Structure 1
């Protein structure tokens, strides 16, 4: 039965390819290729959809059942009054879950990799299912000034959520992904594509910069690497946030980010979906590597993410929490410097995040 379901999903995923390739110019950056894009450091991702599912069901790694560990996930219902009537003088962050954060400051609201669907999947009847309930509905959100998209994987780019947001906001996306948004009915003027190290201003108070990450892209069996993947530096007034999206680790690119962008007040730091390491090392950091990124970019504090919403790898929820705490201790970081935040919580950060 599992093989039949996987075959059905493979056929559905094949039918969902919408990516466009980019033209390669003679002065193209080194991460551009004739087929799309590539990572510059570390191994390229060679495994694919069927490799993942073979490893999942027939490999030697024992997978924890995260659906039976939901009670270990810290969770609160979001205080809607705090997000709909925020103090514009306060730096405020709300973790909706996975890689979805609401950032609010100086009258601006930014949403990262929003997914409000029940599954991270191209179909509604199968695929990774949300472990906890949503702490708020999409309709509960205040007006959003900008949506930041790190890459096109289904747990980071959700068609139903984008359809619901529609043309009410502005989208910042990696190269070659704009056409997907146009196909969803988003107006061209509401989508800005960015290459690594490019930036764009939304207003005097809001600027978005695309920065490197180590990952891959693809929404089907046939479009891998055709669109770019990125992390971002987001400036809201005098508040600087780094959003990691989804990434593996290398000792070069994150130090480059730290050299170019100083005074990073807050890093939204991916830590989940990291086991088994032989399979997950290229595209996903583990908690220990996440603390290296924290140091490399010079973040004053980090909030962990990319765990507790969808089971994408073998580790269990208690192991993830223990590994985060151990990595934090090993790195000499405090609880506030490398934060485990409850899903749904809204927290106000000090104007000087070093406090």
Structure 2
């Protein structure tokens, strides 16, 4: 076997795309609305490289993809001196900067070239990161949804440093303290657990996913979505998740006045493999409706090639979903990477 095949197999095991769900692990029973499915990283490797599905990065379409996701220069002045109303900046994938009344929150920060444990292999950014960590305003809180490499990036967390407060799912505290982050700056949450941080109330809410960073830690840490109240502004961050008809309606019932939701729309094909853990655009619209958000913004797409669909197909599927469910223009708005929008609570 050539060395590059070994690397690809290792990446398939270690990065985000797909491994077994409901496999042994501390939190293996935390997907109550999902039938156990006996798939693993080897199945993903076979499907990815030897299956019938043709991935977008094997097509000419990939050469056109950067144009399908606009990227604009970040307004660094606006980030350092935000307006008096809440503002949201998309930095690619599931990374947003949320700012309101002097509070700066980052979601699942990854500003590196690859979503991978390796610098030389694994999913690579389709476009460069829109800024560096040093260009961010002082960050107060970082919220982490789970430990996959496209959501928990060692280099970015290291650059953010030990003085930030990190809100993480159960089972991840040691990962942060091993990087030299003080225990008192890492707060681990179970589903529905809430905690106050000055003007921010953070609640870990359910999601349907799984966790692993190696062959030996499947489902040893939890996966969550997040509800944040920052003064008078309510934001819900979906993290990475499959869809079910129960949990997201429960979130919407508990938090009936969500202003803005950050919802994934990418990495959903082939459905026979991806559906348990990644929603497609149609399910993203359903999720928007379930939680009852006034507005929502698309994420988890356009940054790394993590599944079979291309960006043009994602946009087509989102357009079809909006039409099918008669969704408004404020449903899953597509931002440019680097774009900042101001919102009204």
TM range (shorter): over 0.9
- Structure-2 residue corresponding to 1:196: 191
Matching residue of 1:35: 26
- In the TM superposition, what whole-angstrom CA distance separates every residue of 1:254-277 from its partner, at most 9, and x where no partner exists? 111111111010110011000000
In 2 relative to 1, CA 154–34 (structure 1 residues): closer, same or farther, beyond 3 Å? Answer: closer
TM-score (norm 2): 0.92
Residue 8 (structure 1) shift:
3.4
For the pair 1:326 / 2:317, whether they are aligned, the reply is no
Q: Which runs of 5+ in 1 are unaligned?
A: 17-30
Q: Does 1:152 align with 2:143?
A: no
Per-residue deviation, 1:6: 3.8
Partner of 1:183: 178
Per the alignment, residue 79 of structure 2 pairs with 83
Structure 1 partner of 2:330: 336
Provide the C-alpha distance between the structure 1 equivalents of 2:113 and 2:339, rounded to a whole number of angstroms.
19
What is the 5 A alignment of 1:1-355?
4-8=3-7, 10=9, 35-38=26-29, 39-65=31-57, 67-68=62-63, 69-87=65-83, 89-203=84-198, 205-351=199-345
Residue 339 (structure 1) shift:
0.5
- In 2: Cα distance, 1:153 partner to 1:113 partner: 10
Rate the CA distance shift 1:15–1:300 in 2: closer, same or farther, 3 A.
closer
Please give the alpha-carbon distance, in whole angstroms, between the structure 2 residues aligned to 1:34 and 1:346.
Answer: 39
Could you tell me whether the CA contact under 8 Å between 1:167 and 1:187 is conserved in 2? Answer: yes
Cα pair distance change 1:63/1:34, threshold 3 Å: closer
In the alignment, the residues of structure 1 paired with residue 12 and residue 179 of structure 2 have an alpha-carbon distance, to the nearest angstrom, of 17
**Deviations, residues 308-355 of structure 1 (Å, cap 9, x unaligned):** 00000000011111111211122211222331111110000123xxxx
**In structure 1, how many angstroms separate the alpha carbons of the residues matched to 2:37 and 2:111?**
28
Distance 1:11 1:267, change over 3 A: closer
Report deviation, 1:146.
0.3
Structure 2 vs 1, CA of residues 6 and 216 (structure 1 numbering), >3 Å: closer, same or farther? farther
Greater alpha carbon shift after TM alignment, 132-141 vs 285-294: 132-141
Residue 10 of structure 1: how far off its partner (Å): 4.9
Q: Deviations over 1:179-223 (max 9, x none)?
A: 1111111110000000000011111x1111000000000001121
Deviation track 1:25-78 (CA, whole Å, cap 9, x = no partner) reads xxxxxx9x8733431112235322221111001111111126412111121111
C-alpha distance in structure 1 between counterparts of 2:27 and 2:330, whole Å: 39
Deviation at 1:9, TM superposition (A): 5.4
Question: 2:7 touches 2:121 (CA, 8 Å); kept in 1?
Answer: no
Q: Secondary structure at the match of 2:161?
A: helix
Structure 2 gaps, min length 5 = 16-21
Moved more, 219-228 or 269-278: 219-228
Decide whether the 8 Å contact of 2:264 with 2:279 is kept in 1. Answer: yes
Runs of 4+ in 1 over 4 A off after TM superposition: 9-16
Pick closer, same or farther for the CA change 1:12–1:281 going to 2, 3 Å.
closer
SS in 2 for 1:128: coil
Distance 1:34 1:320, change over 3 A: closer
The alignment partner of 1:133 has SS state of coil
